[in-house]
A and B are shown apart, each in its own frame.
Chain A
């Protein structure tokens, strides 16, 4: 895209913003969990209409939470939101206690922003006896009390399985957002000479994302069983000579991405990068991707993640090839819905 065109679009956006602020924007009071402090500050910086509020997060000696919502009277009649991060089971209970209470403080409306919905990959009962913890999580979230503003809105980015939207009961209004627009904006900044194409590591990723990325040629991979092993193969598309960006919703150990990168390189990709919305990276598995600066060829040119998983973002700092694309702007907009 040419620079001029980009500028024109920026001007139009400025006009549109001015118009919208003529209309009544909602003032929102944003509470947040400790892990999300940085993201919360970024969100508040995006908009004059969002104010940060605070909570005392303490523990009793027995480990159970001792919580206090500061200035609870001030939020009466106000739109209130809570930015949560369920990065491990241990932190869920304290955040849920706050989430279950806020709607009942005579607020005008309540929104839960949960950028990353964990357990998402464990959402099927293949055998009787499987416990689909994603459904447990959905149940817990569905049980948020309604406030004067009606059902709680729950904002989630790139939920793992599309069917999961139906796991929520009618007392909550799930709002399914995506981080892909951040990716497309970033891709537009790459040199025009690079031929960018998008690769999906499996059919699931294709189903989730192909419609949002239909302006790019695509490559789809698939896992094929050969005896005991499962091998990643190219199913459709041709990566030769291109800058291939592998797109998926999340990364855990990174095994899938690494296998894909090998196959793409073997088929002639000029460069390979990756984008995931949620960099879960348990046990610091992101170390498999950092540039080692030892002269050897680097597997990934860029690795884009969002700031949905704050623990990872803190650990990564500035390490190449990682770049963090912030959800702050998108969340600030979502809070106006």
Chain B
């Protein structure tokens, strides 16, 4: 596999720094997921960005590249050392960092803000543009500007499939870009929709997650080989196998952003993590091992389904409910009530993907009176779902943690 070399680092006094190994897999073999860790120094302090989360299910420790030479899991350094409140926990911009590759980043209308943030994270990434017009019949009329200028360049596209209506136009660009003699192509799709519809329980169920995986697996190969697909906290772990071998999925997570945010809280030593169900526990517990955990589950009582605490103790704790996504918010609210009833002092929530269809985010209020049953202290989401981010920005309890830094690093893989 790849060589492991220690990186040098300078530390700022207040934060622990453990030795990091950096690994770079340059051969795109089918068994390894590209994984890269970089340590950059700048005059403002340290910044460490973690990129690439390996399978969380691995018990046997084969994948030693993920972790340190001394065997400790990676802990994240607080990227933002200033004392200003974090509403966008984006890392500070780089100076003097060496580019492993320069990347031309195209983006869809919905993802413009995130694209601009990504570019501000790195000198190695520049924005490119596309004319997104429509014919009268509603079908797209697209033009990739300066197509000749991307020959021999590494190219990426930041997509957002927020509804079926916008898939076709983005797909047309995604299918066209790899064939323009680019040296590699990466599709960044922070949120993979349909993820919850990924099982056939009855014959006749249509697993739309598989449809989407099929559509993406059909992206043409470019001179750089199979397209890399970067996505965050995909809903079901099995979904990684839904992609054909023509695509290299790179499964990232937003949890490192949460961890660094938690470390900055005044009561960071009183935090417990709650998982609303076993699925969430399977997805995330390994990344959050250092915190005491609480696991909830749904129990059937007659016709109703009631949320109960299966294991763990909430008494007196600041409990952070963690899940990959939120839709109506029903599950989170039920958990919140149960945790409050079991004595939680404060309750917050984190989801990577704040979908909130039909403005369901309005159900979540700020806890101003120390009553966790009525309100949350914080509700963290990432900027994977651009349309929601606009609505909840600057509205407590919501805080947006930006994926820009993580994506910028992922593009260097």
Q: Which residues of A contact B (CB under 8 A)?
A: 60-73, 88-94, 96-98, 100-101, 105, 118-119, 122, 127-133, 135-136, 139-140, 143, 252-253, 280, 282-283, 285
Contact = CB atoms under 8 A, between A and B. Distances in A.
Q: Name, among A66, A97, A130, the residue most crowded by chain B CB atoms within 10 Å (CB to CB).
A: A97
Given A129-B144, A129-B146, A282-B137, A68 B206 contact: yes
Contacts of B169: 89, 133
Contacts of B358: 61
A274 to B, nearest CB: 18
Nearest to B131: A129
A236 B184 CA distance: 51
Contact of B142 (A91, A131, A140): A131
B143 A129 contact: yes
Interface string B342-384: 0000000000000101101000000000000000000000000
Contacts of B144: 129-131
B164 interface: yes
B59 to A, nearest CB: 33
B148 A89 contact: no
A110 B173 CA distance: 29
A118 B169 CA distance: 13
Contacts of A94: 164, 208
B172 A64 contact: no
Contact of A96 (B166, B197, B211): B211
Contact of A122 (B135, B171, B197): B135
27 contacts: A60-B357, A61-B328, A61-B360, A64-B164, A65-B206, A65-B208, A66-B197, A67-B206, A69-B204, A69-B205, A73-B203, A89-B139, A93-B164, A100-B214, A101-B206, A118-B137, A127-B147, A129-B148, A130-B143, A131-B143, A133-B140, A133-B172, A136-B172, A139-B175, A280-B137, A282-B136, A282-B138
B215 interface: yes
A131 B163 CA distance: 21
B167 interface: yes
Contact of B163 (A64, A127, A136): A64
A71 B204 CA distance: 7
Contact of B147 (A70, A98, A128): A128
**A interface SS class:** mixed
Interface residues of B, number: 50
Interface of B: 135-148, 162-169, 171-173, 175-176, 180, 193-194, 196-197, 202-208, 210-211, 214-215, 218, 327-328, 355, 357-358, 360
A132 B143 CA distance: 9
Given A62-B193, A72-B204, A252-B136, 10 more contacts: A61-B328, A70-B204, A73-B203, A90-B163, A93-B164, A101-B211, A129-B143, A129-B147, A132-B176, A143-B218
Contacts of A143: 214-215, 218
A67 B169 CA distance: 23
Contact of B137 (A96, A139, A252): A252
B141 to A, nearest CB: 7
A69 B206 contact: yes
Q: Name, among B164, B196, B207, B357, the residue most crowded by chain A CB atoms within 10 Å (CB to CB).
A: B164
Contact of B148 (A72, A92, A128): A128
A68 B164 CA distance: 17
Given A62-B355, A131-B172, A131-B176, A89 B204 contact: no
B148 to A, nearest CB: 6
Contacts of B214: 100, 143
Contacts of A66: 197
Nearest to A119: B139
B165 A88 contact: yes
B242 to A, nearest CB: 12
B145 A64 contact: no
B211 A100 contact: yes
B12 to A, nearest CB: 42
Contacts of A72: 202-204
B146 A93 contact: no
A162 B204 CA distance: 37
9 closest A-B pairs (Cβ-Cβ)?
Answer: A90-B165, A72-B204, A129-B147, A89-B168, A93-B164, A282-B136, A67-B206, A131-B142, A61-B357
Contacts of A64: 163-164, 193-194, 197, 208
Contacts of B211: 93, 96-97, 100-101
Contacts of B141: 122
A122 B139 contact: yes
A71 B138 CA distance: 34
Contacts of A98: 206
A130 B140 CA distance: 11
Q: Name, among A63, A93, A127, A252, the residue most crowded by chain B CB atoms within 10 Å (CB to CB).
A: A93
